[in-house]
Structure 1
Amino acid sequence: MSPAPTSAKSSHPPFNEGAAHVAAPSRFGVPSLDEMPDDIRAICEETRAKIGFVPNVFLAYAKRPEHFRAFMHYHDLLMKGPSGLSRAEREAIVVAVSAENACLYCVTSHGAALRILGKDPFVADQIAVNWRTAELSPRLRAILTFASRVNDRGFAASDKELAELKALGLTDDDAWDIAAVAAFFGFSNRMAGLMDMRPNPQFYAMGRAADGR
């Protein structure tokens, strides 16, 4: 059978026609840069100069400056501070936990960071969908297994779990960092849900190689 002519009109409506698109970073509104305290405006402008846009999480938290400062301070300590975990491993924790919590903002934004820092967009996308079936090293699988446990109801780490991490060369401080990142983003995921926070469109394309690994 010959394929239908390319000029033939489809009987179907355009994909996703009529969908409501949420443009606001937060349902509670966001201040303009001019309305922000000087230190917060400086962070937003510095970030825009570096990556080309201001992440919506910055705008959303700027609504409450003290919350912005506390959130960003602990975020930067966990994600950029000294640790036995690499920055890519920490981003992988965020993506895995956020996917389990169904947080659109964090999966999308930190998925972009993981593609860039991990230099493996394929595995980054696998983790964003289901880390359990992703192509992971034994170390990274152990990290994400423990991180996933942190947001379980009634979570309490067992000696066996900590011993399993140590068997792969992960220290008590590393276990602390895994739990801290997972727990912090459990909080962040839920606040993003409260605010109906939406990812900046730029995140979707970041870190995607056109020619494979």
Structure 2
Amino acid sequence: MSDIIKANGFTNETLEWDAWLDVIQLEAASADQIKVLEESHPKAKTSDYYLFLAHQPDILRQRSAAFNAIMYAPGGLPRAERELGSLVVSRINGCVYCASVHAQRFEQLAKRNDTVRQVFDTPYGAGVDARERAIAKFSAELTETPGDVSAAQIKALYDVGLSELEVLDLIHSVAIFAWANRLMLNLGEPVFADGSKAEAK
């Protein structure tokens, strides 16, 4: 792993997420609940997040399909840049857990953490080049004022080389984590491996 970064309550360390409400118990789960957990993520059976969402297996199944299509579909926006957009929205919304996950994914894909450090400090202006800065700025603006996206904001992305499909991928990445952040912020809390709370400042 790269150097540990801690800033404003955010970190690139691996965190856990503890649900405040009851999660399903595997020994009492239905066959469909077990099936959707197995479909969703390799660690779903030990994750409070998935064990909570599995109360509604059909919704979890739809969520996982949408997530996989947005974050992992081939072509379009490079994976690292999808993670950058997701990192920015998570930083602005104060979702420490999601920010840690996307910081790690960005580092793994981009092979560096300089942009992560910048996003933790301030999402506006983050990025090592014009393209990253435009992605971070647009992601921040879309997060804070989603109803006010303008043609000029889209043009700014085109001006640094994003294609129409790449812009669409970026919008989808920001949108799904605007939703996921709110879910995680309202239903549980991030914790470090020692059980201590991880909170944005």
Task: Give the TM-score of the pair, scaled to structure 2.
Answer: 0.75
Matches within 5 A, 1:150-161: 150-153=142-145, 155-161=147-153
Q: Is the 8 A contact 1:28 1:195 kept in 2?
A: yes
How far the C-alpha of 1:193 sits from its partner, in A, is 1.3
The two structures, once aligned, show a CA RMSD in angstroms of: 2.7
Change (3 A) 1:24 1:80: closer
Residues matched between the structures, number: 176
Q: Which residue of 1 aligns with 2:39?
A: 43
Aligned match of 1:192? 184
User: Which residue of structure 2 aligns with residue 113 of structure 1?
Assistant: 105
* Letter aligned with residue 40 of structure 1: V
Which structure: greater strand fraction?
Answer: 2
Please list every run of 5 or more consecutive structure 1 residues that lacks an aligned counterpart in the other structure. 1-22, 203-213
Structure 2: stretches of 5+ with no match in the other structure: 1-15, 195-201
Q: CA offsets, 1:170-196, max 9 Å, x none?
A: 122222221111121111111111102
Letter in 1 for 2:23: V
Question: How many angstroms apart in 1 are the aligned matches of 2:67 and 2:153?
Answer: 25
- Alpha-carbon deviation of 1:24? 6.9
Indicate how the Cα distance of structure 1 residues 118 and 58 shifts in structure 2: closer, same or farther if over 3 A, else same: farther
Query: 1:121 Cα deviation (Å)?
Result: 2.7
Check whether the contact 1:56–1:198 (CA below 8 A) recurs between aligned residues.
Answer: no
Of residues 27, 45, 68, the one that matches 2:20 is 27
* Larger displacement relative to structure 2 (178-187 or 152-161): 152-161
Deviates more, 1:153-162 or 1:66-75: 153-162
Which letter does structure 2 place at the counterpart of 1:30?
A: V
Q: How far apart are the structure 2 equivalents of 1:116 and 1:138?
A: 21
The structure having more radius of gyration, on CA atoms, is 1
CA distance in 2, matches of 1:121, 1:146: 20
For residues 25 and 43 of structure 1, what CA distance do their matches in structure 2 show?
21
Distance 1:148 1:196 in 2: 24
Q: Choose the corresponding residue for 2:82, options 86, 90, 104.
A: 90
Describe the shift of the 1:146–1:195 C-alpha distance in structure 2 as closer, same or farther (beyond 3 A): same
Q: Which residue identity is paired with 1:41?
A: L
